[in-house]
């Protein structure tokens, strides 16, 4: 839906920010309502999901998550304390460690991912085929924005 406010770049930015924030909040509410790791923040879940895909050093994880090293240090400590990740010796640099997800951490990521995708799938069924096509086309653009 095009509104007068979303016709300019500034208006589009405002509309997109509000919509994406609301959608993220709704997904967070669903996760908490289902009792799936309500004590984990979105930052912690994002880091856990990134590590579930591949092992990284703390510095690589900070870069991947676009946060400063002190912030990722707190996230790592919290995840490690909960038994969701573990530190392993770096294969080629004895001064560093790599972070890996434990089986418990992998299970958390899987459950949260399933819940969010099921909730979104139900919401998508309320849209018209044309609206779903527009969203499908927008996914690469949203991904590009999230990585820039």
Residue 48's pLDDT band, with cuts at 50, 70 and 90, is very high
CB proximity list for 101: less than 8 A, separation 6 or greater: 48, 51, 52, 84, 85, 109
What are the structure tokens assigned to 23, written together?
A: 């959608």
- Whether the per-residue pLDDT at 25 is higher than 70: the answer is yes
- Whether the per-residue pLDDT at 44 is higher than 80: the answer is yes
DSSP single-letter state for residue 4: G
Q: What is the Cα–Cα distance from 108 to 44, expressed in whole angstroms?
A: 11
- Whether the per-residue pLDDT at 35 is higher than 60: the answer is yes
Task: Tell me if 113 sits within 8 A of 121, measured CB to CB.
Answer: no
- Whether the per-residue pLDDT at 136 is higher than 70: the answer is yes
Kindly report the number of other CB atoms within 10 A of residue 15's CB atom.
Answer: 16
Quick one: angle between helices 58-65 and 42-53, nearest 10?
A: 120
Encode pLDDT of 81-97 as tens digits: 999 999 999 888 888 89
User: Tokens 């949260």 identify what position?
Assistant: 112
What mean pLDDT comes out for the span 8-33? 86
What mean pLDDT comes out for the span 114-118? 87
Task: Tell me if 124 sits within 8 A of 135, measured CB to CB.
Answer: yes
Which residues sit opposite 100 in a β-bridge?
A: 86
pTM here is 0.75
**Domains along the chain?**
39-147 (1.10.10.10)
- Whether the per-residue pLDDT at 41 is higher than 90: the answer is no
User: Tokens 């400590």 identify what position?
Assistant: 77
Q: What is the Cα–Cα distance from 76 to 103, expressed in whole angstroms?
A: 16
């Amino acid at each position: 839906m095009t509104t007068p406010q979303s016709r300019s770049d500034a208006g589009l930015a405002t509309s997109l920010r509000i919509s994406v924030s609301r959608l993220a909040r709704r997904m967070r509410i669903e996760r908490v309502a289902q009792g799936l790791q309500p004590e984990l923040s979105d930052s912690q879940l994002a880091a856990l999901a990134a590590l579930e895909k591949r092992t990284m050093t703390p510095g690589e994880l900070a870069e991947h998550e676009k946060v400063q090293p002190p912030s990722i240090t707190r996230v790592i400590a919290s995840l490690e304390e909960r038994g969701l990740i573990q530190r392993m010796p770096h294969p080629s640099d004895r001064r560093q460690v790599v972070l890996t997800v434990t089986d418990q951490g992998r299970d958390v990521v899987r459950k949260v991912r399933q819940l969010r995708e099921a909730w979104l799938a139900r919401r998508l069924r309320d849209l018209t085929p044309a609206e779903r096509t527009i969203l499908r086309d927008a996914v690469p653009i949203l991904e590009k924005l999230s990585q820039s």
